[in-house]
Amino acid sequence: MYKVFVNNTPIILSTKKSIEGYRTVHIKEVDFPRIIRDVLANEAAGNEAKYHFFHKTEDKLIEHLYAKLPVVMAGGGKVYNEKKEILFIHRNGKWDLPKGKAEKKEDMETTAIREVEEETGVTGLEITKFLYKSYHVFKRNGEFRLKVTYWFEMKTEYNGKLVPQKNEGIMKVKWKDKKKAIKALKDSYANIRLLFSHDYLS
């Protein structure tokens, strides 16, 4: 099962023929821009539009998803320092984790490390494991696009100055301990909260 986020509303993708409470559409028949507009209109009205995209084969599910909208590949990091604090950025009025678009012929690990460095000023990054692949819809130049972000857990011994990349709209960069991270995640995005375990958030 996969979740594609439109703002904070998830669209479910699965090989199940139906999910209770969700409107199921075979992914071949999906008019994604129309559904996105419906999700956004419902969200603006305080409601949740529950959509489920179905295909019997998981590989075909993702293949058809990628054919529905222009795809942007990105990499990001959940970065820990020696104090086990996590690196957050503040952009567009929300707390987020550093991430960004892959450059041509760049692998996802390289993208993730480069973007964390550029957005925060933190260096000496080491990837410890792959975490998760997130999907979310955004709008650029009047066109809906699908961002696929590969998230990696990282560690660093860096204790120098944090430098927000202001030309990318980042106003603050902060190391946050567990208490402050939980507070920040309440003012973040649903797909970012998925990178934290239920035990961490409770």
Structure confidence by residue, pLDDT tens digits, 63-78: 999 999 999 999 999 9
Residue 202 — very low, low, confident or very high, per pLDDT cuts 50/70/90? low
Residue 13 — very low, low, confident or very high, per pLDDT cuts 50/70/90? very high
Residue 103 — very low, low, confident or very high, per pLDDT cuts 50/70/90? very high
The reply to whether the predicted model has a pTM over 0.85 is yes
**Per-residue confidence (pLDDT) for residue 200, from 0 to 100:** 76
Quote the CA–CA distance of 93 and 170 in Å, as a whole number. 9
CA atoms within 13 A on the CB side of 133: 10
Percent of the chain predicted with pLDDT > 70: 100
Q: Report, as an integer, the average pLDDT of 95-109.
A: 96
Q: Report, as an integer, the average pLDDT of 136-152.
A: 94
pLDDT at 111 over 70: yes
Positions of CATH 3.90.79.10 in the chain: 71-201
pLDDT at 174 over 70: yes
Q: Report, as an integer, the average pLDDT of 38-56.
A: 96
pLDDT at 40 over 70: yes
Residue 85 — very low, low, confident or very high, per pLDDT cuts 50/70/90? very high
What's the sign of the alpha-carbon dihedral 37, 43, 45, 50?
A: positive
pLDDT at 99 over 90: yes
pLDDT at 43 over 80: yes
Looking at domain 71-201, its CATH superfamily turns out to be: Nucleoside Triphosphate Pyrophosphohydrolase (3.90.79.10)
Radius of gyration for the alpha carbons in the chain, expressed in angstroms and rounded: 18
**Per-residue confidence (pLDDT) for residue 49, from 0 to 100:** 95
**Per-residue confidence (pLDDT) for residue 197, from 0 to 100:** 80
**Per-residue confidence (pLDDT) for residue 131, from 0 to 100:** 95
Contacts of 161 (CB under 8 A, 6+ apart): 121
